[in-house]
Amino acid sequence: MQSVFEQNLERLVQKYDQPGPRYTSYPTVPVWSSGSFGREYKEALNAEGDQERGISIYIHIPFCRTLCTFCGCNKVITRDNELVERYLKALEQETASVANQLGRRKTLSQLHLGGGTPTFLNLDQLTRVTEMLRRHFDIDPGGEWALEANPRVTTGEQLKGLFELGFRRVSFGIQDMDSMVQEAINRKQTAEQSQAAFQVSKKIKYQSINFDLVYGLPLQTRSKFRRTLDAVSKMRPDRLAVYSFAHLPWMFKAHERALRQEDLPSAQEKIGLYLDTVRHFTGEGYVMIGMDHFALPDDELALALKNRTLHRNFMGYTTLHGLAQIGLGVSAISDFGDSYWQNPKNLSEYMEQVSDPKPQRGMKLDPDDQLRREVIERLMCHGEIRFDEFGQNDFDFREYFQEIWKPYEEFAKDGLVLIEPDRIKLTESGHLFMRNLAMPFDRYLQSSSSPRFSQTV
């Protein structure tokens, strides 16, 4: 028999399962302008060069050996080493150009290698990537270096070499350990491969090991996914990111061609997978972070949640704040706090313009954008909005955000939020619909040209 909570949840899923942004940024990428933004990007870099703070760098390595059909990342399926070498040379040119535009030698406080599959590169190539950074930036000895890794292609030699280069955080793409689900997404990754990657990393003494899981994949069932959860919790990684699968057949050909709609869990089944995940990992002693992350109680993320210093960016939840993020590589995004810029998504176009970078999408944020960005971040990090944390002393939160009260009164009736004199606080049910609760603060959502998003459930 269903609990009262689960019975009510069925009704809420039917009501609130709709397309909506994930809010890894605000304003969201679909409303950014398209064009050629070389001058504006240089101005942003020049301004950052004047700041007395370190920087964060994200490097996109797009290459993969095979196509995982669930993936929505910008990737290039290849075994052409000549292409890879040309890309590395382009990265070196872009890095030199960016460092020059900064106008001074900046301190690198955070580095993240993403993809694609960063460990597609061999150890010599990975060493070249770090050496190019050391040539142009001062390295913060206490900085955070992290990379994404695929257990199917990442060797013990690579993990040891990357540790020696300075990486201390590694995130492994696990997705699901069930063989039928892996077959359905063309992943074909064995549980033994995942376990071996974890054990080697523990032996090398990486400070933080994260697993990425995905719920809502084809052929997933609650009983099968529970077995994956059991296997993962026995290894006990430091962090977990458990993402909702975004089925976007109009955007990704692989979703349209290789994934059958009838194989995907229904919205109700999908919320069940998520609930099982929350119950399992919190029952195993993990702290729930935001809407899709978990961390052990002594992990920096859990401590940041407790201290209200948790933040969110394009890489997920983070303890670092106030750093400009500079994106290097094809499709990489730069975030300067008051502007966003994205490199060309096409590999050839990217490599043609690296000596004089010209982002193809971008947006400058006005004060209202920056305020709404902060509100949405607090909501998605801490599950509440305290009115006195925004604006100046005479700032009236209720008056400024007049448009949100009608939908929020409806949310309150449905038991998703508690509206108090000095704050809005999410309930247990509200955390399941966090994307929906952020949407009323998005002033572009109704006025935009109907960008298509994944379902919120």
What is the per-residue pLDDT for 177? 94
- Return all residues near 38 (Cβ < 8 A) that are at least 6 apart: 356, 357, 358, 359
Give the separation between CA 9 and CA 257, rounded to whole angstroms. Answer: 32
Q: What does the alpha-carbon distance between residue 416 and residue 152 come to, in Å, rounded to a whole number?
A: 41
Which part of the chain is CATH 1.10.10.920?
367-441
Give the span between the Cα atoms of 242 and 275, in whole angstroms: 11
Q: Using only C-alpha atoms, what is the Rg of the chain?
A: 22
* pLDDT value, residue 447: 53
112 touches 315 (CB < 8 A): yes
Indicate the class that CATH gives domain 20-364.
Answer: alpha beta
Which CATH architecture describes the domain 367-441?
Orthogonal Bundle (1.10)
The CA distances from residue 356 to 96, 116, 276, in Å, are: 10, 24, 49
**Sign for the pseudo-dihedral over CA of 103, 104, 109, 110:** positive
| C-alpha closest to that of 335 among 112, 88, 82 | 112
Residues of the chain with CATH 3.80.30.20: 20-364
105 burial (CB, 10 Å; 0-12 / 13-18 / 19+) is exposed
Taking alpha carbons only, the member of 369, 339, 360, 273 closest to residue 74 is: 360
pLDDT of residue 261: 85
All residue ranges of the chain with pLDDT < 50 are: 1-4, 448-450
Show the tokens assigned to 2: 């269903």
pLDDT, residue 249, reads 66
On whether the CB atoms of residues 167 and 145 are closer than 8 A, the answer is yes
Q: What pLDDT does 246 receive?
A: 80
Query: Taking the chain, what is the end-to-end CA distance rounded to the nearest angstrom?
Result: 23
